[in-house]
Amino acid sequence: MLKGRILVTGAAGFIGSHLCDRFVNDGYHVIGMDNLITGNLGNIEHLFHLKEFEFYHHDVSKFVHVPGDLNYILHFASPASPIDYLKMPIQTLKVGSLGTHNLLGLAKQKKSRILIASTSEVYGDPLVHPQTEEYWGNVNPIGPRGVYDEAKRFQEAITMAYHRYHGLETRIVRIFNTYGPRMRMEDGRVLPAFFSQAIRGEELTVFGDGSQTRSFCYVNDLVDGIVRLLLSDYEKPVNLGNPQEVTVLEFANEIIQLVGNPKARIAYRELPEDDPKQRKPDISLARKILHWEPKFDRSKGLELTFEYFKKIVPLQ
């Protein structure tokens, strides 16, 4: 017997597709929705033959209709990498504002619980380290990254407004750097960029001196945390990520060693505008409320991710 019906937006994306897998495996009927501007149907085509899964090709920035009951909505539709949202700034703002508004309206109509995918980018270039949920952030609203940062900050604000004014059951997850199979090789984020460059025997592009830090969470850990948050009673934002911090330069050298291509080497470039210098989640709240913390260490997660990327870009 099915546990319920779930709508996942951004279903053909990296995280969205893993969520579809998880909820199908957990016994739900999953409706995946994506306009495919950055999503890839190949990420979910293995689900198409299942009666527990259906797919809607639709842009959530336009009116959203789903027939029948809906128990849960998970809003993961959005360009999520700098290359994508710098190329599609208006779409990024619209999916965070109009799209979120449409889905909150759908949740109100269906009496569904809705979980909104926010991001560590709401903290901007943080002045507090590590970042707790109480930190309000240091964001440049008119900088090149502002289209993504402010779309997500607005998304949180309207979600809490619907919760307070309409009594809607809402959940907000602030996602820190996540990696794993199904990432797009050319999406501009540091991990797929480093893997593609190392596999091809090219220079790994390190911006600045590489001393800026990142924290990487394996996608299976993130999905587990999202499911726990969805089914919890906690209504305010929760950080999910791996607090194990590494400098970008150290990370580049880890990738070079793992890939083992003797031609791969590091090249330094000028630091982009508003690039965060530190990014590390404080996950004390997730530990307390959700009894969650990452289980995959970075070496194991990188091995699994490398196996996926080898199939996309053959070793040179």
Given 148, 162, 179, 218, the catalytic residue: 148
HEC letters along 85-116: HHHCHHHHHHHHHHHHHHHHHHHHHHCCEEEE
Mutual orientation of helices 298-312 and 248-259 as an angle, nearest 10°?
60
Which residue(s) pair with 64 in the sheet? Answer: none
308 is known as an active-site residue: no
Cα separation, 188 vs 283, in Å, equals 26
Residue 114, token pair as written in the block: 């809705």
b/e map of 66-79 (b: 16 or more CB within 10 Å)?
Answer: beeebbbbbbbbbb
Residue 71, token pair as written in the block: 């128990």
- Which amino acids are annotated catalytic? 148
